[in-house]
Amino acid sequence: MEHLQHLIIGLVDKFGYGGLFIGMALGNIGAPVGSEIVLPAAGALTATGHLPLLWATIAVAIVGELVGGSVGYAIGRFGGRPLIDRYGKYVHLTHANLDRVHAFFARYGSFAIFICRFVPVIRGIVSIPAGLAEMDLPQFYLWYFLGSALFCGGLIELGNALGAHFDAMLPLFHKWGLIVLALALVAIAVAVVMARRSRARAN
């Protein structure tokens, strides 16, 4: 996985926004690109001038994720379970992961898409079971976009703030990246519970 991360970072360094777009699109159809590493690296490259505009870096990352998510949705919707059963293992879409995503769908509805944007491994494959379930497209894109905007924007901003010091911090990202994502997921879950309780009291 780290080899692919370095390859994608190299693509971003060499081909700029085109490399970033390809990396984010691949990551959203299950390729283990390590977005929690690639996105801060893109932010650092923006700070050092390799990528010219911060807002454009964030926008390209989000568009790449949306394109990858659209491909994943189409795979699930039009390929169906036989295609997933045959090729899912190549993109970490095991039956166990599929069951976890369906459990999120059953509990949170389309909002599960937003939650899954912050869950390691699941974030890269959630569009496939969404297509399999024939989720309403406007709802799918709404939550997919919002989750991607927060995830991409936050990590790119973090890398941009670190700038030239990013390389020194890279081992910490490898070690703590998943923990940071887990904490973000917990924060989102707490917000959802609080919002539901507020609505319940209002009713």
- Return the amino acid letter for 109: G
Confidence check: pLDDT of 179 > 80: no
Residue 60, pLDDT score: 97
Query: Among the ranges 4-13, 66-75, 79-88, 121-130, which has the highest mean pLDDT value?
Result: 66-75
Q: 179: which 2 tokens?
A: 């923990």
The percent of residues in the chain predicted with pLDDT above 70, rounded, is 73
- Determine the Cα angle at 40 with ends 131 and 181, to 5°: 55
Domain tally, the chain: 1
- Sequence-separated (6 or more) residues with CB below 8 Å from residue 26: 8, 33, 68
pLDDT in tens, 34-71: 788 888 889 989 998 889 899 999 999 999 999 999 99
pTM of the model: 0.79
Mean pLDDT computed over 147-167? 83
In contact, 84 and 154? CB cutoff 8 Å: no
Confidence of residue 91 (pLDDT cuts 50, 70, 90): low
Query: Among the ranges 20-34, 77-91, 166-180, which has the highest mean pLDDT value?
Result: 20-34
Catalogue the E-assigned strands of the chain: none
In contact, 63 and 21? CB cutoff 8 Å: yes
What does the buried/exposed string (b/e) look like for 136-165 if buried means 16 or more CB atoms within 10 Å of the residue's CB? eeeebbebbbebbbbbbbbbbbbbbebeee
Question: In terms of residue numbers, what domain contains 180?
Answer: 2-202
